[in-house]
Amino acid sequence: MLIRELDYLKTYGIYQTRSEVTYEVGKSGFLSHIQFDLLRVVFDPIHAGLVMRPVESQRRWRVILVDARRFLLTFDLSPGYYLLVAKLGIFNYALPIVVYDRTQAADVAVIRPVFTQWSYHWAGFYFNERQSLADRVLGTIGRLGLVGRVIEQSLRQSAYKLGLQGINFPYRSFPAHSSVNLCDFYRRNNRWDRTMWNAQLGRLEGIWCDEMLSGMPVFALLDKNDRPYHVFTDVDLHNQNKLLETYRVLIFSGQEGMTPTYYQMLQRLQATGKTSFLLWGVQGFGYRQLDYNDATGELKYICTRGRQGMWGDRLEERQPDWGDEAQIFGFHFPEPQSASWRYDTPYSRIKVHQSDHPITRMSNTAGKNYCYDIRDLKGKSHPGLTWAGGEIQQRVSQDATVIAHLDEDPEVIGIGEYRNTILFAPTYLPAFFAYQGEAHPEVAAWFIGALNYLLDRKSNCVYA
């Protein structure tokens, strides 16, 4: 079952509090049998994480069947993050619906990462496949220590030379597809089993695989703390929307890909010093160059900074036009050295480095260490800061400062500051949203502390 919004290139899934949206299903004949639910994603302090709460129907939202393939959703909702869930037998399809109130004044704007979301589409840039038994066995061997890694690499090299399918995955070239069209039906990439992160959300089709780690938390925390916000997308930065210059803080959550005009807009916003950036997400920021045509909806892959990808995949010689994203942010996602890099760096503790920094003072976490442990469905423990989507950030610019870092290497950060940017290494997110069954409320305090810190700055800083 597939569903898409007919006017997606106009809305990109972002709506006013009172809206009408027309959707289309992939095949006719079963629309009348679909059951619809509208759920709001909120932060639950009791469970110390995200929960989905049903929205009462009739008065606040309803679905109207238009014909055999189209239906109309009408709603009158308060600002927040919602999921329209369509159920047909054992199939469940979810459509993210982000609502904000343009009539309400706001100093903060959240930037939805639609470019990264569609990069993970089943026909996008990432390979859409489940690991074969042979590949899983080799991965297990590689985690048995130095000798195991040598054996794994040797076998994979041999498999690559022989052209064996299902084994040589980490050595294929990136991307899987050169472009994806945002007018298509969105299907999640099945490369990861998200049920180990959240069993309920992990079974839903139509959601970007890291949405629960980067998109949902931002809105849940802003709503929990009664912070007014407006919402834009990557497309607004790509088109250099001047409205973005009116906000004091832009919050980014998972933007790993940018276009040259997107990067130029960030440069201009940084140079004025009137706009601050709060980077919060699961992907390293801006290390992949893309091209986007907002008339046709085609998103093209151009290149990635570095020579090797996260899973050992070989990258092209061309580098992004802007060189290194650290020129703006002071930190960047370092190029992995091997397909097993996550296991080769067993950091699992966060140390507060600047106990007198306003962020740590305001959140009452100064001088503390935090050890995070993530467990999979079988109860096996994994390093809490480098596994399940955690892409660490490395200090590049000398004048970039580290507020909190991972033990053993202060250059690999938990929280960093550079000019008008606060960057949260995305490794906090798996720790925060309780995949290991423990609550870590300090992360919510750090997020709000960072937002307050950026909003409370009394003077603008202009950077050449």
Cα–Cα dist 106/227, whole Å: 8
Strand partners, 249: 108, 276
Do residues 24 and 407 make contact, with C-beta atoms less than 8 angstroms apart?
A: no
Q: Where are the domains of the chain?
A: 1-103, 105-113+192-289+325-455, 133-171
CB atoms inside a 10 Å sphere around CB 410: 13
CB atoms within 10 A of CB 296: 11
Whether 324 contacts 332, CB under 8 Å: yes
pLDDT beyond 80 at 164? no
Strand 230-233 relative to strand 108-112, pairing: parallel
What average pLDDT does the segment 150-154 reach? 80
Domain 105-113+192-289+325-455: CATH superfamily, name plus number: Class I glutamine amidotransferase (GATase) domain (3.40.50.880)
DSSP string, 78-113: -SEEEEEEEEETTEEEEEEEEE--TTS--SEEEEE-
Distance CA 464, CA 63 (A): 52
Residue 401's pLDDT is: 95
How far is 435 from 402, CA to CA, in rounded Å? 26
> Strands, DSSP E only, in 173-294?
179-181, 230-233, 249-252, 257-258, 276-280, 288-293
- Per-residue pLDDT band for 447 (boundaries 50, 70, 90) equals confident
Average pLDDT, the chain: 84
pTM: predicted TM-score of the whole model, two decimal places: 0.89
CA separation for the pair 446, 295 (Å, rounded): 39
pLDDT (average), residues 172-188: 89
Token pair of 310, please? 């996260």
Exposure on the CB side of residue 428, measured as CA atoms within 13 A: 30
For the ranges 259-263, 310-314, 367-371, 458-462, which has the lowest average pLDDT? 458-462
User: Distance between CA atoms of 372 and 430, rounded to whole angstroms?
Assistant: 9
Tell me which fold the domain 1-103 belongs to.
Immunoglobulin-like (2.60.40)
The pLDDT of residue 431: 47
pLDDT at 43: 82
Q: Is residue 413 classed as helix, strand or coil in its secondary structure?
A: strand
